[in-house]
């Protein structure tokens, strides 16, 4: 599996991963209305391309297809982190996370943090994150729980090497 920065023609493939994983995997923990708000079926692709152009995500490529992506912001915030719905539990997330942590270490980032879905909580715990806060907001008339999670990185060292 290859982990690299995205190429400018890949925005729509990245959207497909985000859309299908949200609707097929996160549906375990959230309502259809909530999922439609986060990943609308009529998403404005111009806005999405703009977003991806700015966030410059890492992508995972296996057998020649995109199987996951993740965004790391300069302040250590991990925003979107999604694996293809047919490639769940096959090590794609771990491979992307390792690269993302290496990038953080290269850039002197000391703290990684994310607002993590119920669906991804166990994965982030496995990657060495701790929960700093549990939140529940009402979104589209139903509670939507998530977790503030963080991982401190000692400078120049990775426990994932
Ligand atoms: C979270 C996510 C990115 C993990 O990617 P993945 O490729 O499935 O993860 P991996 O296969 O690398 O799994 C790594 C470890 O985490 C564990 N893990 C992953 N998801 C898990 C789950 N839902 N429950 C329990 N353990 C889980 C795996 O069992 C594995 O443990 P092991 O090394 O002991 O076998 C993926 O499940 C996903 O796309 N989730 C939906 C989108 C989402 O919620 N994203 C986060 C938004 S904050």
Contact 141, 33 (CB under 8 A): yes
Q: Write down the pLDDT at residue 154.
A: 81
Assigned token pair, 22: 């949200």
Ligand 1 site residues (CB inside 6 A) read: 21, 25-26, 81-83, 88-94, 114, 116-117, 119-120, 122-123, 126
Task: Please report, for the chain, how many H helices and E strands are present, in that order.
Answer: 5, 7
Backbone conformation region of residue 37, classed left if phi is above 0, alpha if psi is from -120 to 50, else beta: alpha
Q: Which of 73, 82, 89 to mutate to test the pocket of ligand 1 (most atoms within 8 A of CB)?
A: 89
Supply the CATH classification number for the domain 2-110.
Answer: 3.40.630.30
Q: Read off the pTM.
A: 0.95
Residue 113's DSSP bridge partners are 77, 150
Residue 2's DSSP bridge partners are 61
Indicate the domain borders of the chain.
2-110
Q: How far is the CA of 126 from the centre of ligand 1 (A)?
A: 8
pLDDT digit string, tens, across residues 55-69: 999 999 999 999 999
pLDDT digit string, tens, across residues 8-62: 999 999 999 999 999 999 999 999 999 999 999 999 999 999 999 999 999 999 9
pLDDT digit string, tens, across residues 112-146: 999 999 999 999 999 999 999 999 999 999 999 99
Q: Which of 21, 98, 123 to mutate to test the pocket of ligand 1 (most atoms within 8 A of CB)?
A: 123
Q: How far is the CA of 139 from the centre of ligand 1 (A)?
A: 24
**Whose CA is closest to atom 26 on ligand 1?**
122
Instruction: Tell me which of 79-88, 134-143, 151-160 is least confident.
Output: 151-160
């Amino acid at each position: 599996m290859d982990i690299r920065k995205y190429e400018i023609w890949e925005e729509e493939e990245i959207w497909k991963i985000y859309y299908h994983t949200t609707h097929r995997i996160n549906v375990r923990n959230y309502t259809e209305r909530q999922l439609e708000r986060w990943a609308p079926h009529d998403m404005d692709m111009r806005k999405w391309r703009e977003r991806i152009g700015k966030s410059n995500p890492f992508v995972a490529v296996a057998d020649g297809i995109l199987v996951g992506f993740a965004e790391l912001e300069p302040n250590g915030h991990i925003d979107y982190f999604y694996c293809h719905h047919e490639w769940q539990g096959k090590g794609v997330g771990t491979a992307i996370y390792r690269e993302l942590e290496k990038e953080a270490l290269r850039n002197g980032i000391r703290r990684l943090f994310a607002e993590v879905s119920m669906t991804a909580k166990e994965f982030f715990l496995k990657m060495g994150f701790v929960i700093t806060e549990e939140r529940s907001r009402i979104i589209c008339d139903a509670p939507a729980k998530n977790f503030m999670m963080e991982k401190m990185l000692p400078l120049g060292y990775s426990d994932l090497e």
